[in-house]
Structure 1
Amino acid sequence: MNILIVEDDDRIADFLTRGLRAEGHRVQRAADGLTGLAMAQDAARQAQSHGDMTLLLLDMMLPGMGGLEICQALRTQRIWLPILVLTAQTSLEDRVAGLRLGADDYLCKPFDFEELLARLEALARRSRDMRPPEASVLRHADLELDLTRMQASRAGKPLTLTARELALLELFLGAPGRLFSRERILASVWGSSEDPLTNVVDVYIRRLRLRIDVEGQPSLIQTVRGLGYRLEAASST
């Protein structure tokens, strides 16, 4: 697995680099935000060309460009590298800000190295589940998602979706008819650090329905009461 560390603290960066390389991972490091953003963009291009996935280990407090700005820039550019935030900022507001701007998971300093490894492995699994490598366009009924451009459309009409809405749609389109529990959706789209009691899944399901549904037709995203949600074909009548 390729791992890009964006961390300005030499001591922490060296510790992470040595530990991850000992686990067999390929590691690169950037010491400031602007360099980190450029390296992440290059890693995304390499992944598109060669299929090598890179995970981003991102500190929040960086010279030149902060971690939140990097998250926002990558997601605005439709770059979907998995991002694990490492930070000493432990408040709920800080965590929510990072997740809303596109981070996939959040780990507070100081942290246990074994937990870091487990979170990286979980991110890698989720990324593989959500982005089948053999498919460049996911389709179901007249709903499409172009994974290269991260552009969704319904009956040929482009849809304007946020980064989180696109990730949620990609999860459903990757397995039409499969029932996803709220917990599974939360872990796949928001990461393990999100509060399991939050109603964010229901909120985003409602938002996604407003974006993709056609007036007068049943919703493509069906609610299975007490169990979760699944993607079903629109009625032809």
Structure 2
Amino acid sequence: MQPLARILIVEDEPAVASVIQKALMEDRYEPSVAMDGESAWDHIQRFEYELIVMDVMIPGASGIELTRKLRKAGMNTPVLMLTALGSTDNIVSGLDAGADDYLTKPFKIAELLARVRSLLRRHIPSSNSGPATLTFFDITLNLDEKNARRNDQIVELTATEFRLLEYLMRNPRRVLSRMDILEKVWGYDFQLNTKTVDVYINYLRKSSKAPVPRASYTPSSEWAIS
């Protein structure tokens, strides 16, 4: 039977890696294991994976450094980051590096499998997924290449900023609550203060000077959040 997806597990604790690998195999995935940053990068360059389960604290390059390297190389493979460091700063650092989701140790295998399924659904190409580009006024997002342009000039955005701008551009002129944005952009029950949305909106304004949401009103040419 064809495996559902190839998944790389980057975890230096043999017992944890073994439990994750067994659970993924039982769910018909094809998991591989790398136990340090160097071997993980070797796997990533040699093989194609649909998902990477990445521990933050690994020998050699950390999970955050490896994820940042992955994104810098133009690879869009979704990353589920595992961390024993559940503070807001550590979570934000991982997401800003390009991780798509995170799970705090200790975790239940059922929850990990649910996150895996969610990430794979969000990243599997579909012929019904709509156009490869989104345009709003003079801003264009290329969803295949994961880049943004304004007036044909590249706008430098982090992975999180890109997802946020994509969601806003898919919902033009709608009033969006902060909780709705957290759920849709980060893809799970995000455990940060809703003011995180305001912080990232400001990041977008500084990066692109784009017509992004304002919290207090709803002008026809802009998005708004409540």
Q: TM-score, normalised by structure 1?
A: 0.74
Percent identity, aligned pairs only? 35
Matched, 1:37 2:41: yes
Q: Which runs of 5+ in 1 are unaligned?
A: 47-52
Trace 1:4-83 onto structure 2 (pairs within 5 A): 4-41=8-45, 46=48, 54-83=50-79
Unaligned runs of 5+ in 2: none
How big is the shift at 1:165? 1.7
User: Deviation per CA, 1:84-104, whole angstroms, max 9, x where unpaired?
Assistant: 112333444433332332222
Mapping 1:64-213, distance limit 5 Å: 64-127=60-123, 135-177=131-173, 180-192=176-188, 194-213=190-209
Helix, strand or coil: the match of 1:85?
Answer: strand
- After superposition, the CA RMSD in angstroms is 3.4
Q: How many angstroms does 1:59 deviate by?
A: 1.0
SS of corresponding position for 1:4 = strand
Q: Aligned partners of 1:159 and 1:123: how far apart in 2?
A: 26
With the length of structure 2 as denominator, give the TM-score of the two structures: 0.77
Structure 1 residues 187 and 150: alpha-carbon distance in aligned structure 2, compared to 1, 3 A threshold: same
**Deviation string for 1:95-132 (max 9, x for gaps)?**
33323322222222221111111222233344469xx7
- Which moved further from structure 2: 113-122 or 84-93? 84-93
Q: How many residues align?
A: 219
Check the 8 A contact 1:3/1:56 in 2, yes or no: yes
Contact 2:7-2:50 within 8 A present in 1 as well: yes
